Amino acid sequence: MLDELTASSNLLCAAIERYSTACLAIQRAYARGEKPHITTPQLSLRMDAEAEIATSLEFILHKATAAINWSRNHSTARSTINNLPPELLGHIFRLVRRFQPCAKRDYDTGDKPEPIYPAVLSLVCSRWREIAFGIPTLWSHIDISTSTLLNRDRLGGLIQRYQDQAGQLPLDLHVFDCPGYEVSSRHPQPMLELTTQFASRAFSLDLDAGQTFEYEVHYEIVSNFFRQCTSGKFTRLTLTHYGDNEFIKGYVDFDEDFGGLFVDVPAERFEDIMSHVSTLRVNQVYPLWSSRAYHGLVELRLTGTQMHIV
């Protein structure tokens, strides 16, 4: 079949090229006012016949085009996504994961029954479910809201599922204020327990606070995390705050002049932990400029209102 298709295609291309050249030559002759060598009545009759033949050929070519397109779409050489090897499909899942979709985005407007990704992969088909559950890195991003209501009603089951699927991988812990949900400053203990539960396994903490850095919630989250995290394993810190600029450090016995935020761990432990952080992204909440937090970084982002470094 391949040889016949190739040979007939070559003959067709040559014939069409020759036929087109002949038709264009006649057109140019009439355009210049010249009469062809053969008699005009004979040529006129032939052109009438060719017009009918061309219409017939156009219909035949249309059928051939439809046939070859249908065959191409059903060819095993053209794979659909479900024909891809599991390794390649898993790599596609990981590429999508780099956009880091999370519960804050999924629940910032309206009510949604479940975060979009990666949990939805398990709902497509049994093959996607098997592949997704076989890639622990897809599940290593753990979302905890500062709203006990959101954690209880929506995120609790997902947190447990993600923890189970991540296995023993280091975790990317994201704690956030969710628009539309009140920060649970009166009953923060459940979220603090979640933060403490995952801190020792976390390589990353992203605390996304709102306008107010509340002592009972955000301060305690950071303090609980630093008390339980593993120095050396924890390498990425992101602190986002949209209120006034604040400095943050570990506590010392006497420091009455410091007007910033104390993390409830000794200053030496705070500095030891921060000295192993290689990625530091902070907005409005900064370690002291003299801190070892700024040593050995591979990525540093300082954002917020203008500040003077002295």
What is the predicted pLDDT for the residue at 46?
86
Mean pLDDT of 44-68: 89
Within this chain, do residues 290 and 242 fall inside the same structural domain, yes or no?
yes
What is the predicted pLDDT for the residue at 104?
56
**310 lies in a domain?**
no
Q: Compute the mean pLDDT over every residue in the chain, rounded to the nearest whole number.
A: 81
What is the predicted pLDDT for the residue at 147?
82
Contacts of 93 (CB under 8 A, 6+ apart): 118, 121, 131, 132, 135, 138
Within this chain, do residues 24 and 122 fall inside the same structural domain, yes or no?
no
| pLDDT of residue 277 exceeding 90 | yes
**79 lies in a domain?**
no
What is the predicted pLDDT for the residue at 81?
74
Mean pLDDT of 189-217: 85
What is the predicted pLDDT for the residue at 178?
80
> pLDDT: is 77 or 24 the higher one?
24
Within this chain, do residues 66 and 165 fall inside the same structural domain, yes or no?
no
Within this chain, do residues 67 and 91 fall inside the same structural domain, yes or no?
no
Mean pLDDT of 19-39: 78
Return the CA Rg of the chain: 34
> pLDDT: is 83 or 21 the higher one?
21
Give the domain-ending residue among 46, 73, 100: 73
What is the predicted pLDDT for the residue at 306?
59
What is the predicted pLDDT for the residue at 240?
87
CA distance 141 to 303: 24
What is the predicted pLDDT for the residue at 227?
92
**123 lies in a domain?**
yes
Mean pLDDT of 3-29: 89
Mean pLDDT of 27-52: 78
| pLDDT of residue 145 exceeding 70 | yes
Give the domain-ending residue among 43, 73, 103: 73
What is the predicted pLDDT for the residue at 294?
95
Least confident interval from 9-18, 88-97, 119-128, 154-163: 154-163
Residue-wise pLDDT tens digits, 243-254: 777 888 887 765
Q: CA distances (Å), 8 to each of 2, 70, 90, 250, in order?
A: 10, 19, 42, 81
Task: For residue 264, count CB atoms less than 10 angstroms from its CB and return exposed for 0-12, middle for 13-18, buried for 19 or more.
Answer: middle
Within this chain, do residues 88 and 63 fall inside the same structural domain, yes or no?
no
Question: 196, 224 in Cβ contact below 8 A?
Answer: yes
Categorize the per-residue pLDDT at 274 as very low, low, confident or very high, splitting at 50, 70 and 90: very high
Within this chain, do residues 38 and 119 fall inside the same structural domain, yes or no?
no
**174 lies in a domain?**
yes
What is the predicted pLDDT for the residue at 259?
66
Least confident interval from 94-98, 246-250, 284-288, 289-293: 94-98
Within this chain, do residues 142 and 184 fall inside the same structural domain, yes or no?
yes
Residue-wise pLDDT tens digits, 85-120: 888 888 888 777 666 556 555 555 455 555 556 777
| Interaxial angle between packed helices 267-275 and 220-228, expressed in degrees from 0 to 180 and rounded to the nearest 10 | 70
> pLDDT: is 133 or 36 the higher one?
133
Q: Which domain holds residue 25?
A: 2-73
Within this chain, do residues 130 and 57 fall inside the same structural domain, yes or no?
no
| pLDDT of residue 213 exceeding 80 | no
**238 lies in a domain?**
yes
Question: 227, 193 in Cβ contact below 8 A?
Answer: no
Within this chain, do residues 126 and 271 fall inside the same structural domain, yes or no?
yes
